[in-house]
Chain A
Amino acid sequence: MAAETAARTGPGAGARIAGAVARQRELSLAGLMVVMAAFVALQAPNFLSASNLTQVTVVASIIAIAAVGQALVILTRNVDLSVESMMGLVAFVVADLLKFHVLPAPAAIAVGVGLGLLLGVTNGFLVAVLRVPSIVATLGTLSIYRGLDFLIAGGKQVTLGDLPAGYTDPARATVLGIPVFVLIAVAIVVFVALVLRQTRAGRRIYAVGSNPEAAAILGIRSGVVVFGVFTACGLLAGVAGVMWGMNYGTINATAATGVTLQVVAAVVVGGVNINGGSGTVIGAGLGALFLGLISNSLILLRLSQFWLQAIYGAVILVAVSLDAFLLRGLRRAALARRAR
């Protein structure tokens, strides 16, 4: 379609449209979601019920928080495949601490977040200090962290009844009709977006991702930046893990299995360039909401949940293909401008 337009009106117009879509990624994604939501709401009116909207947005908030951490890592040309194991391990450890009354709830939550931080530091050490390529390091810790989880859980599970009364309430609580989890996710997204935009540390993340050599010449120590993003990713996975436990109540050693794929999909759909250097965490957050919307639509439209996995895969492939296509459009536009 864009190619046809380009053929008719010269090289500039199609490329300009492509450029506009690429630049307004967040807006295009939001627009797409509104259209999708309208369609689903027409087919299944209970989509708009308060309980359904709460459910969709609460789950999406958890994925969004993990996706913010993953986006930071991907911005520096790395990837963290261990996110799901960090979330699962944190979720189980916190639940286990509460079950055996080792700690009061706030302390257990703090331990969980701290554990996430520690796991992230381990990843950061492997990648930034020992120079293990991130895919190898985090593929390794993906199975190490999950193994630890199984070792601690030993086939047992923590059920809702084992947890202190009221512990899981925040997952259902709302302020002015907005779920608390959504507010937490929005606060984290906005905070990290501001850090990325306004602070020196944030700009360094983009610098390392878009051109490591140039960043090194500017005196940016990429090792420190990479260590930092993996640590942040672990911290946010810890937060997401705690929230996962609150939302589901019943936790065993397989908690959050397969979430890494959703998190990476959210980041890619949200327009973060998989080769690093460009993209926003707002996009990543919207990407998480988009995936949640797809999952919910399948349920409401009574389609088989078996399709979900295939659709997530297709969404990743479409998003990266679209990115590459739009990027080529942008380049062509830039070349055309220079030629004129």
Chain B
Amino acid sequence: MSATGETPKPADAAVVVGETTSVGRSGPFRLRRLASWEALLALVLLGLVGLGAATSPKVFLTPGNFSNLTAAVMEVAIMALPMTLIIIVGDIDLSVESMLGLASAVLGFLWAEGVPLEVGIPVVLLMGAAGGLFNGLLVARGGLPSLVVTLGTLALFRGLALVVLGPRGISKFPEAFTDFGFGTVPGTPIPWPLVVFTVIAVVLGVVLHRTWIGRQVFAAGKNKDAARYSGVRVQRMRIALFVLSGTIAAFAGVILTARFASARADAGQGMTLTVVTIVLLGGVSINGGRGTILGVVLAAFTLAVLGNVLRLANVSAELQSIATGLLLILSVVIPSVARQVSSAIGRARRDRRPPVATAEPGEVQSLI
């Protein structure tokens, strides 16, 4: 009895050691994880591209289609980047879609009142930061669960957007502005929002995986108390991440307004689901402490190509929303089932071998 009780210990210790090194300086180049989730995503992405090329060869591989399929998800993809950090630290921000709508509404309102966009856009971004600060203060200083706080601001920000703009839509934006939304970098099929996304992804990727700030984010996500006792200002970091999330959500609102050439209070309704789906599909743990920007970027493109392939195959929007929901659940179920299976296999292997062979002879015998 005592012998079988001791045998799992070395394995558990190995897992813990593996996890602590993964938080450490090995950063995104954790070969074992790279060999699993990110590689799997890249394979799925390649498979989907192949499927698209096979089913609608005349349309799928054109530069125009590339612009369309990337531009269609850029707002959610951009919001998924700060959401990645927020979920790694163990929080969640459900209010991003409403901040996007509020930003669109306020930008439209200011434009309709004759305020130039050079003033309107910074005002909207500041408002995003303020909204994020509000979330962050309630969560970090007020000690309230982020799920409920941001569910509240999900309604609050959307309500304010409706109060500001009502049911009307504002259009007639200058061409230079709307070009930013659906134009491409001259001579290439790269939409401008993709440039923005790439810049934010690179900056956040470097910060998260290559700097002490990123290591503190992972540390806080693994164990808030341990991180605090090691000198990490956990609460200040959480507030900063919510401010970042609010600002970027407002910026996504600016992009959406430019892309549709129209400002509406109901812009982006339901986007939070897609944002969270991208982050979790990217291999970020909903319990915090684990995830990479690379995975999230791959997940964003996977979702973009999937949506495009389904659209080209004339699959209805309803089925697409079912597919998104399924993908969200599967992205959590598959790794957890895989973990259970592999640990079951490991246990079976250990049970087959005589216990003395696996355990450190001196140590275990002394324990017995």
Contact = CB atoms under 8 A, between A and B. Distances in A.
Nearest to A309: B159
A3 to B, nearest CB: 15
Contact of B163 (A143, A275, A306, A321): A306
Contact of B328 (A140, A148, A265, A309): A140
B59 interface: no
A274 B148 CA distance: 8
A266 interface: no
Contacts of B156: 309-310, 313-314, 317
A307 B158 CA distance: 10
Interface string B139-171: 000111101110111111111101100100000
Contact of B152 (A79, A137, A307, A316): A316
Contacts of B160: 310
B333 interface: yes
Contacts of A265: 155
A307 B280 CA distance: 33
B175 to A, nearest CB: 31
A304 interface: yes
Interface string B318-344: 110110111011001100110000000
Interface string A96-116: 000000000000000000000
Given A146-B321, A306-B159, A314-B152, A135 B273 contact: no
B305 interface: no
Given A139-B273, A143-B273, A317-B138, A132 B155 contact: no
B276 interface: yes
Question: Secondary structure of the B side of the interface?
Answer: helix
Contacts of A143: 270, 273, 321-322, 324-325, 328
B144 to A, nearest CB: 5
Contacts of A308: 159
A280 interface: no
Interface in A290-340: 304, 306-314, 316-317, 320-321, 324
Given A137-B329, A140-B326, A147-B321, A131 B152 contact: no
A13 B326 CA distance: 53
A50 interface: no
A130 B325 contact: no
Given A135-B147, A324-B144, A126 B329 contact: yes
A148 B92 CA distance: 27
B308 to A, nearest CB: 18
Interface in A263-279: 264-265, 268, 274-275
B188 interface: no
A167 interface: no
A133 interface: yes
Contacts of A311: 159
Contact of B280 (A136, A144, A147, A324): A136
B286 interface: yes
B325 A141 contact: yes
B287 interface: yes
Contacts of A6: none
Contacts of B158: 309-310, 313
B285 to A, nearest CB: 10
Nearest to A145: B325
Nearest to B272: A139
B316 interface: yes
B361 to A, nearest CB: 34
A133 B329 contact: no
A261 B156 CA distance: 11
A316 B153 CA distance: 9
B163 A133 contact: no
B341 to A, nearest CB: 13
A265 B159 CA distance: 15
Contact of B329 (A79, A132, A320): A132
A122 to B, nearest CB: 10
Contact of A307 (B138, B147, B157, B163): B163
A176 interface: no
Contacts of A264: 148, 151
Interface in A115-161: 126, 130-133, 135-137, 139-144, 146-148, 150-151
Contact of B145 (A137, A139, A275, A310): A275
Interface of B: 92, 138, 142-145, 147-149, 151-160, 162-163, 166, 270, 273, 276, 280, 286-287, 316-319, 321-322, 324-326, 328-329, 332-333, 336-337
Which 5 pairs, one residue from A and one from B, show the smallest C-beta to C-beta distance?
A310-B159, A313-B156, A313-B155, A309-B159, A147-B322
